[in-house]
Amino acid sequence: MSLYDYRASREIAMSDPPFAALIMAAYRKADSTNTMLLERAFPFICKEIRDRYDAPGGVLPGEQEVPC
């Protein structure tokens, strides 16, 4: 870790994203080792991001698309 990482984490936290969004963002950036660790710690969140990645527009079957 570095001072840059710490300061970046403060900026991210100030925007107050949901916890699951933080895990999904980390999963997107993770290397293979960290992907495995995230999948062990947060299996449901990681499954959801994989499912949404493969779904058109990230919308899962049975969901209605809502504007951000």
Query: For residues 33 and 54, is the Cβ–Cβ distance under 8 A?
Result: no
* DSSP string over 9-60: HHHHHHT---HHHHHHHHHHH--HHHHHHHHHH-HHHHHHHHHHHHSGGGPP
What is the SS3 assignment for 64? coil
CA distance 32 to 41: 14
Tens of pLDDT along the chain (68 residues)?
899 999 999 999 999 999 999 999 999 999 999 999 999 999 999 999 999 999 998 999 999 877 76
Query: For residues 14 and 39, is the Cβ–Cβ distance under 8 A?
Result: no
